[in-house]
């Protein structure tokens, strides 16, 4: 991301770089053979005009616009993006790919973002969220998705992808960059039903189910593409201690 930070210092250069990144993603999308697993449930909800939350890991977001084009039937999707500089870059890039964004995270702009998410869901729209973004830990879901889904009583879908031609970076999220002329496998899990106004214990159960579904989808996609599955980061110490206390 050091290169992105340097480019961001010049608005014109930054804008061109984001456009080029978007063109590259579209090139990969168009030159890849796509296999979709589990898309039927999302398509049924779209036909009925029912809102939902789609989740995907931070390291597997790059082809989510392409996956949405294949299941979204021309419907709009809004994606929650952080106000961090990396988030600004992502927002610019996916804007070129037809995805609208909601700016905010748990650390910055959270309340305004939550209001916008709820407004979108009430209007029958759908929202995409990376529950381990913007800073991790990798492939560990924060409670935010379950909380939002409970407020609106909307289901959650877990979505991931892998590619036969790719580069996996040694970044905190093990970002997977697909390369052209390969096969892309998208795996979708759900719906995960979240009860309205769930208790704290029920929300934790939903959070864990969402995390498990996302990791299962990621493992399935990686194995289908011949990649040793990327593993989640170790559980945060506070969570591990709490789970140990529950078992005593």
Separation CA 66–CA 96 (nearest Å): 12
Question: 237 is written with which tokens?
Answer: 């110490």
241 class by beta-carbon count within 10 Å (0-12 exposed, 13-18 middle, 19+ buried): exposed
Overall residue count recorded for the chain in this entry: 248
- Domain borders along the chain are 2-229
CB 222 within 8 A of CB 183: no
Nearest to 27 by CA among 109, 96, 104: 96
CATH of 2-229, one of 3.90.230.10, 3.40.1130.10, 3.90.226.10, 3.40.640.10: 3.40.1130.10
Separation CA 10–CA 18 (nearest Å): 12
- Residues whose CB is less than 8 angstroms from the CB of residue 246 and which lie 6 or more positions away in sequence, other chains included: none
CB 78 within 8 A of CB 128: yes
Q: pLDDT by residue for the chain (248 residues), tens digit each?
A: 455 555 556 778 888 989 999 999 999 999 999 999 999 999 999 989 999 999 999 999 999 999 999 998 778 889 998 877 778 888 899 999 989 999 876 556 578 888 999 999 999 999 999 999 888 899 999 999 999 999 999 999 999 999 999 999 999 999 999 999 999 999 999 999 998 989 999 999 999 999 999 999 999 999 999 999 999 999 876 554 444 333 33
pTM over 0.85: yes
Question: 49 is written with which tokens?
Answer: 């005009």
């Amino acid at each position: 991301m050091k290169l992105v930070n340097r480019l961001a210092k010049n608005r014109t250069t930054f804008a061109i770089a984001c456009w080029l990144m978007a063109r590259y993603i579209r090139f990969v999308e168009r030159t890849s053979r796509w296999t979709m697993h589990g898309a039927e449930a999302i398509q049924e909800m779209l036909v009925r005009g029912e809102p939902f939350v789609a989740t995907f890991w931070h390291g597997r977001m790059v082809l989510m616009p392409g996956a949405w084009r294949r299941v979204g039937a021309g419907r709009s999707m809004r994606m929650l993006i952080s106000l961090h500089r990396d988030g600004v870059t992502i927002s610019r890039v996916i804007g070129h790919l037809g995805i609208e964004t909601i700016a905010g995270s748990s650390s910055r702009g959270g309340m305004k973002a939550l209001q916008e998410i709820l407004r979108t869901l009430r209007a029958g729209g759908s929202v995409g969220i990376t529950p381990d973004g913007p800073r991790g830990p990798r492939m560990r879901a924060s409670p935010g998705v379950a909380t939002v889904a409970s407020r609106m009583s909307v289901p959650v879908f877990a979505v991931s992808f892998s590619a036969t031609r790719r580069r996996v970076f040694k970044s905190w999220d093990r970002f997977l960059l697909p390369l052209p002329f390969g096969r892309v496998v998208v795996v979708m899990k759900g719906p995960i039903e979240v009860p309205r106004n769930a208790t704290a214990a029920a929300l934790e159960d939903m959070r864990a189910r969402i995390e498990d579904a996302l990791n299962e989808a990621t493992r399935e996609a990686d194995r289908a593409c011949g990649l040793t599955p990327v593993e989640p980061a170790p559980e945060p110490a506070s969570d591990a201690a709490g789970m140990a206390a529950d078992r005593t």
